[in-house]
Structure 1
Amino acid sequence: MSKIAWIYPGQGSQAVGMGVDLKETKTATALFEQAEKILGWSVLEKCQGDEEQLSQTLYTQPCLFVIESILTDILVEKGHLPDLVAGHSLGEYSALYAARVFDFETGLKLVKKRAELMDQAAGGKMAAVMKFDREKLESLIINTPDLVIANDNSSEQVVISGTPEAVDTVLPQITAKRVVALKVSGAFHSPLMQDAAEQFQQILDSVSFNDAKVPVLSNVDPTPTTNAQTLKTRLIQQMTGSVRWREIMLQLPNEEITQVIEVGPGKVLTGLVKRTCPDIDLKNVGTLADISQ
């Protein structure tokens, strides 16, 4: 029997024009209107506007959550349901929405606050490292204060995060095919986000979570659970904890997943799954036309 996982991309997958084709549907119209009341600005306008502005954390994260939520609801309306969900960083909020852990309004309010806190973060630096010596990198990180692997995306790709001094000290010592400094001001998914995480926890503590309708693989703990309190605890830890995406992908065959559908713009996550789990069938749903196929 085939089992399907829906996975949701995070910041970095945004693109000008995303979601515009959805606006003709009743589902999208309702959620776009609701989002504008919550955010105080139009997601559609941002998605059709300036690329630089859309790439600002403050706008990127809510826009992605709204587009991914709309795609999720349209899939459900057409009779599609997942057996398991997961999301990369911001995408975990979309995954929790898909699992009906919270409703659209609750999810977007959480994402709005998260985006604001992360947008205000300063004093950090992040860099992506491709095709590297993992043993050497892990050794360097152990011996360098204020530096962590923020995103363990695959066996060949990670993102390191920490103080500018720590990142700049380690980068020249890394043996890698490619290193790219990311355009962010904060050290996301590191202990340096502790102040923001504490502020965010106060918001999360006031929100009720439901048990998930399907198991969720969380960023900080890639073991499946449907328990509401466990999922909330993991979400609190996510802001300072590493995104363990490589382990999430390796868990998919253990859960007997035969197909993965990336719900949202781009094909970053399916690209990673293809190289990590070559036997899993892959599909991307980023537009209305993709759902109809």
Structure 2
Amino acid sequence: MPFAILFPGQGAQFRGMGADVFHRYPGLTRFACDLLGYDLVALCRDDPDGLLSRTEYTQPALYTVNALHTFERTHREDRQADCCLGHSLGEYNALLAAGVFDFETGLRLVQRRGALMAAASGGGMTAVMDTPEERLREILAQDGVEGVDVAGYNTDAQIVVAGPSGVLRDAHAALQRRDVRCVPLRVSAPFHSRYMEPARVAFEEFLRQFTFAEPVVPVIANVTGRPYEKGAIVRTLSEQLVAPVRWTDSIRGLLAHDTPLECEEVGGKSLLRMVDGIRGSSPAPSPTPASPPPARNRT
């Protein structure tokens, strides 16, 4: 039975996270604090002034806690993964687990990624429930709402959209007039959309300073919903900032095999609930390979 390890992304953070692992890895914990320039343990334990919800703090903190839990799995000699995948930020932990880079490199990457994403502003993201993409596009077109990007395909019952604040307000109004449930997300910018292009350019330049290994086990890329192609780390990680998270395609691709899939989530259950939702939905064709990564999806 194939075994996949899932790594959560931004939104999975909570006050008190890491309390079960920080003391077991004092050297790595101290190293992370020194590299980041603040007390990561105190941040996760106390969340002073709500800093843990701020992107520039969330991403390094969650990456570190996920990494320590991954090292704990290895220390316990838990079952090894046949593949790894993470949701948005979680993809960095999947790449770490697959040997693409070491802990320090990953921490430097997510620190820079978090800073670039935190610097973006003027928009947000919204989860749209029980509305197929085709119907969503139709609704927005009927009301003349332009400038909304699809930022994530979480399950068949949930699509995430992103855009400037004014555009999202118009989109909310259009959806509410038709009794479509939508939930604004607590983020500071329209991540995974065309509006992150300046961050993508800067991050790609930063990524090119590093050397990456090929994954020792397949890592499913958010951008394509397929395993990473050889030599595509820089391109795929930079594109992730402006492309939708194809979580539904990622899981469907794994479920398309003849043998049942078993999953374990590091640090939570939210991704497993998504997997259950996708597993229980009507069968659909598995995603086709994409090379280069698909253009960002816009409505």
TM-score computed with the length of structure 2 as normaliser: 0.86
Taking the aligned partners of 1:129 and 1:198, their CA distance within structure 2 comes to: 29
Q: Which residue of 2 aligns with 1:150?
A: 151
Read off the aligned partner of 2:182 and give its amino acid letter.
V
| Deviation (angstroms), 1:190 | 0.4
Residue pairs, 1:1-293, within 5 angstroms = 2-25=1-24, 28-50=25-47, 52-79=50-77, 80-140=79-139, 144-174=145-175, 175=178, 177-225=180-228, 227=230, 229-255=231-257, 256=259, 258-264=261-267, 266-278=268-280
Q: Contact (CA 8 Å) 1:153, 1:246: kept in 2 or not?
A: yes
Conserved in 1, the CA contact under 8 Å of 2:132 and 2:156? Answer: no
Spell out, residue by residue over 1:227-269, the C-alpha distance to the aligned partner (whole angstroms, 9 max, x if none). 2x223311110001100111111111135462101112x3110
Question: What is the letter of the counterpart of residue 111 of structure 2?
Answer: K
After TM superposition, give the deviation of residue 194 of structure 1 in Å.
0.5
Q: Which AA in structure 2 matches 1:245?
A: W
C-alpha distance in 2, partners of 1:87/1:138? 27
TM-score normalised over the length of structure 1: 0.88
- Aligned residue for 1:81, secondary structure, equals coil
Local SS of the residue matching 2:20: helix
Is the 1:126–1:184 contact (alpha carbons within 8 Å) kept by the matching residues of 2?
yes
Cα deviation for residue 278 of structure 1 reads: 4.6
In the alignment, is the contact (CA less than 8 A) between 1:215 and 1:226 conserved in 2?
no
SS at match of 1:7: strand
> Mind listing any 5+ residue stretches in structure 2 that lack a counterpart?
282-299
Offset of residue 122 of structure 1? 1.0
| Residue-by-residue CA offset, 1:108-138 (whole Å, 9 max, x unaligned) | 0000001111111111121111222432203
Within 1, Cα distance between the matches of 2:55 and 2:225?
25
Which region of structure 1 is more displaced relative to structure 2, 150-159 or 103-112? 150-159
Q: How big is the shift at 1:146?
A: 2.2
The one-letter code of the counterpart of 1:122 is: S
Amino acid at match of 1:128: A
The count of corresponding residues between Structure 1 and Structure 2 is 274
Report deviation, 1:139: 3.0
Corresponding position of 2:289: none
Do the aligned partners of 1:125 and 1:161 also contact (CA within 8 Å) in 2? yes
Whether the 8 Å CA contact 1:3–1:83 is kept in 2: the answer is yes
d(CA) in 2 for partners of 1:17, 1:3? 32
Name the CA distance, whole Å, in 2 between partners of 1:89 and 1:110: 13
- What is residue 287 of structure 1 aligned with on the other side? none
Shift of 1:196: 0.9
Deviation, structure 1 residue 184? 2.1
- Percent identity of the aligned residues? 35
Name stretches of at least 5 consecutive residues in structure 1 with no aligned partner: 280-293
Contact 2:131-2:157 within 8 A present in 1 as well: yes
Report SS of the residue matched to 2:181. strand
2:193/2:243 contact within 8 Å kept: yes
Q: SS where residue 61 of structure 1 aligns?
A: helix
Q: Is the 8 A contact 2:86 2:92 kept in 1?
A: yes
Post-superposition offset of 1:226: 5.9
Output the amino acid matched with 2:22.
K
- 1:185/1:231 CA distance change after superposition, 3 Å: same
Cα distance in 2 for residues equivalent to 1:69 and 1:93? 9
Q: Secondary structure at the match of 1:100?
A: coil
Q: 1:211, 1:141 → 2: CA distance? A: 41
1:284 alignment partner in structure 2: none
CA distance in 1, matches of 2:238, 2:99: 18
